[in-house]
Structure 1
Amino acid sequence: MHPLKILLIEDNPAIARQIAEFLQIQGWQVDFAHCGALGVQLAVQQIFDLVILDLGLPDLDGLQVCESIKTQASVNMPVLMLTARDAIADKELGFGIGADDYLCKPFDPRELVLRCGALARRHQLHRCDLIRVGSLQISHRNRQVHRNGQPLRLTAIGFRILSTLAQASPAPVSRSALIHQIWGDEPPGTDALKSHIYSLRQAVDKPFDTPMLKTITNLGYQLEPGDEG
């Protein structure tokens, strides 16, 4: 499993530092949000392997934050809730609005690490191997792409970009989310994304009548179903 990129939404600095230390020991990257509104914003703008969400936030109820992430983010990201609310009714409510796991405070950080790893693996295993968007078909297992039955030749990065856009389709994906998904916090110095998008268009759109890869001004890119098929 690749190193995880995790969004931690926690308003208590001491708890956030403690959690981050254990996660970073695993080689995982941790981004922080000290309030619910910022957490939702980051989850919508970027793509994370996992969201760790404290329910007791100062601005928004954590359940509202979870629901917003699940409905507004371009891809489905697992959400692990941290809370002192240990009643079955509270857990039922959390799972009902989309939470994927639940850990009650106080907790052992080692258990949190184990749950994060298991949750991320489960999410990858349950991801559909075959994604279809219109006449486009993407197979993660053998890394093959076909459009209208014709095989397309893509670079490794082109495949990752297309796969990310396909999973989000028909919702757009921001430039920043794509850059983080492909290169993490160390993107190339030049506008590499623009170059890869150009090459991707040559493979996905140029041989066909209907363009599928759209540029959304001031936002990013979107994969729309083609008309042929």
Structure 2
Amino acid sequence: MCILVADDDPVVREVVRRYLERDGLTVIESADGAAATAALRDADVRLAVLDVMMPAPDGIELCRAIRAGARPDLPIILLTALGAEEDRVLGLEAGADDYVTKPFSPRELALRVASVLRRARPAAPAGPVRDGPIELHPAARSVAVRGATVELTPREFDLLEFLLRHPGAVFARAELLARVWGWEFGDLSTVTVHVKRLRAKLGAEHRIDTVWGRGYAWRREPSDG
């Protein structure tokens, strides 16, 4: 399986490559956004690790381009040296599935890569879920609203499936991080941004309610009777 690692620091690329290769992955290295764009076009890349601050296009620009292009469902992890919450939120709003803040543990990144890949391709998908006009098909990793396909990132898909399978239940953001992302700890704004993006993509058909002081819940489709 081929992973793209795009970072202008050759030391970072080498260390990340060694750790990912230990896990049996093939790594393509790029030093800037232009080379990364070419790699995405020419190689069968299954996940991209993008440095936010690499030469143009930077990681956030490239993330946006991927989401708007031919590979909208490609898993993306951002590497960022920016510690402020608003900068992390910017990356998530651009469509990143995950992010790791520099300096980071290469093994932690490798574990994040494995987690994203595992959730992007579940071994034994459950059956389809239908709720009103929304249809979710785990085997195809597809979602449709009133018959029209809705493009979701892997994490958005995972979050929507989880909520659809637990209608009416309220989940705190920390619990969603643990059960959807597989993180025992992390930035709770990750959940907030993904909920915001899901609401926007599902439009008027979304029923993700904010339960103040508790978390989020999927409101059941009202019955006709």
- Which category describes the TM-score, using the shorter chain as reference length? 0.5 to 0.7
Deviation at 1:69, TM superposition (A): 1.7
Q: Which residue number corresponds to residue 30 of structure 1?
A: 27
Q: Is the 8 A contact 2:6 2:36 kept in 1?
A: yes
Q: Is the 8 A contact 1:70 1:76 kept in 2?
A: yes
Q: Which residue number corresponds to residue 220 of structure 1?
A: none
Structure 2's unaligned 5+ residue stretches are: 129-136, 140-150, 152-225
Cα distance 1:129–1:93, how it changes in 2: closer, same or farther (>3 A)?
farther
Are 2:29 and 1:41 equivalent residues in the alignment?
no
Q: Which residue number corresponds to residue 124 of structure 1?
A: 121
Q: Which runs of 4+ in 1 moved over 6 A?
A: 126-130
Are 2:111 and 1:111 equivalent residues in the alignment?
no
Deviations 1:192-226 (A, max 9, x none): xxxxxxxxxxxxxxxxxxxxxxxxxxxxxxxxxxx
Deviations 1:8-44 (A, max 9, x none): 1111111111110111111110011111012122223
Q: Is the 8 A contact 1:44 1:74 kept in 2?
A: no
3-state secondary structure, aligned to 2:45: coil
Cα distance 1:68–1:110, how it changes in 2: closer, same or farther (>3 A)?
same
Deviations 1:117-167 (A, max 9, x none): 00011111398988xxxxxxxx996xxxxxxxxxxxxxxxxxxxxxxxxxx
**Mapping for residues 77-96 of structure 1, pairs under 5 Å:** 77-96=74-93
Are 2:66 and 1:72 equivalent residues in the alignment?
no
Which deviates more from structure 2 when the two are superposed, residues 58-67 or residues 105-114? 58-67
Cα distance 1:42–1:14, how it changes in 2: closer, same or farther (>3 A)?
same
Deviation at 1:59, TM superposition (A): 2.5
Q: CA RMSD in A?
A: 2.8
Q: How many residues align?
A: 132
Deviations 1:63-93 (A, max 9, x none): 1011112222345210000011121111111
Greater relative CO, 1 or 2 (CA 8 Å, sep 6+): 1
Q: Is the 8 A contact 1:6 1:28 kept in 2?
A: yes
Q: Is the 8 A contact 2:51 2:58 kept in 1?
A: no
Q: Is the 8 A contact 1:37 1:65 kept in 2?
A: no
What is the CA–CA distance in structure 1 between the aligned matches of 2:50 and 2:3, rounded to whole Å? 10
3-state secondary structure, aligned to 1:56: coil
Q: Which residue number corresponds to residue 20 of structure 1?
A: 17
What is the CA–CA distance in structure 2 between the aligned matches of 1:5 and 1:72, rounded to whole Å? 19
TM-score by length of 1: 0.52
Q: Is the 8 A contact 1:82 1:105 kept in 2?
A: yes
What is the CA–CA distance in structure 2 between the aligned matches of 1:40 and 1:128, rounded to whole Å? 34
Identity %: 32
Q: Which residue identity lines up with residue 28 of structure 1 in the other structure?
A: L
The structure with the larger Rg is 1
**Mapping for residues 119-158 of structure 1, pairs under 5 Å:** 119-125=116-122
Q: Is the 8 A contact 2:7 2:50 kept in 1?
A: yes
